[in-house]
Amino acid sequence: MAPNEWLTKQDFVKMLDVNLLGMIEVTLSLLPLVRKARGRVVNVSSVMGRVSLFGGGYCMSKYGVEAFSDSLRRELSYFGVKVAMIEPGYFMTNMTSPEVFNGSLQASWDQASPEIKELYGEKFVADFMKTSNLLKPSWSGNLSLMTNCMEHALTSCHPRTRYSAGWDAKFFYLPVSYMPTFLVDLMMYWGAPRPAKAL
């Protein structure tokens, strides 16, 4: 998770392989059994699959999970198979720990070209790293908000199509995803660090 121009194609490929293509491969390999049992497919996406607040492959991969799950739901409905998506907000996991987030950001910065480093400046990197602590809500350690959604999606007679796990998902990210793009852009400009050479 870093500004797109700090990254290489391989950075995107690595994220897409794990978060999107791996999920597709597992799902497709099990579909004959799921169809035969009239089972369920429950994929974990993210609120970042609804609104892309930062660059890198993560948001792209989660948009892909959303698209794959939507099309799969429509295709499999003819066979009695239900497809649901879990769209969690921010939860404390290995990926979201400040050490991992900041380490990943620093590695992306270190590989960036001198031109990019001049455009963004060291202050941008430091300010961007500080945002990882601001994003952490008080409920982020309560994973039962997520597992309750999974349980419902797997065991309910009438599962929902989408589950928003976490209060931030329900009351911030979901409404933001329906806002006009220019308002979301303004919110991002207002709250995000600015590159050193920004106009």
Residues 88 and 100 in one domain: no
pLDDT at 54: 81
- Cβ proximity of 85 and 69 under 8 Å: yes
Q: Is residue 195 part of a domain?
A: no
Question: Are residues 26 and 60 both part of a single domain?
Answer: yes
Same domain for 113 and 78?
no
Asked if pLDDT for residue 8 goes beyond 80, the answer is yes
pTM: 0.88
Same domain, 106 and 162: no
The chain-wide mean pLDDT, for the chain, equals 91
Residues 36, 58 share a domain: yes
pLDDT of residue 11: 92
User: Do residues 81 and 105 share a domain?
Assistant: no
Please name which of 173, 30, 156 lies closest in space to residue 89, comparing C-alpha atoms.
173
Percent of all residues in the chain with a pLDDT value above 70, rounded to a whole number: 95
Provide the pLDDT confidence category of residue 136 given band limits of 50, 70 and 90. Answer: low
**Domain encompassing residue 26:** 4-92+140-189
45 and 23 in one domain?
yes
Co-location of 75 and 165 in the same domain: yes
Return the pLDDT at 157: 93
Please tell me whether residue 88 adopts helix, strand or coil conformation.
Answer: strand
Establish how many alpha carbons lie within 13 A of residue 90's alpha carbon, considering only the half-sphere containing its beta carbon. Answer: 19
**Whether residue 81 is found in the same domain as residue 67:** yes
* pLDDT tens, position by position, 66-111: 999 999 999 999 999 999 999 998 887 777 777 888 888 899 999 9
Q: What is the CATH number of the domain that holds 12?
A: 3.40.50.720
**What pLDDT is attached to residue 135?**
61
Token couple for 161 = 């199509």
Domain contains 160? yes
pLDDT at 134 over 80: no
Top pLDDT among 41 and 95 is at: 41
> Is residue 63 annotated as part of the catalytic site, yes or no?
no
- The total number of structural domains in the chain stands at 2
172 part of a folded domain? yes
The residue from 58, 63, 90, 163 that is catalytic is 58
Please indicate, yes or no, whether residues 30 and 128 belong to a single structural domain of this protein: no
CA distance 199 to 35: 55
Label residue 138 by pLDDT band (50, 70, 90). Answer: low
Six-digit token pair at 37?
């049992």
Do both 110 and 67 map to the same domain? Answer: no
Buried b (16+ CB within 10 A) or exposed e, 58-95: bbbbbbbbbebbeebbeebeeeebbbbbbbbbbbeeee
- Considering the domain architecture, whether residues 79 and 158 belong to the same structural domain is answered as yes
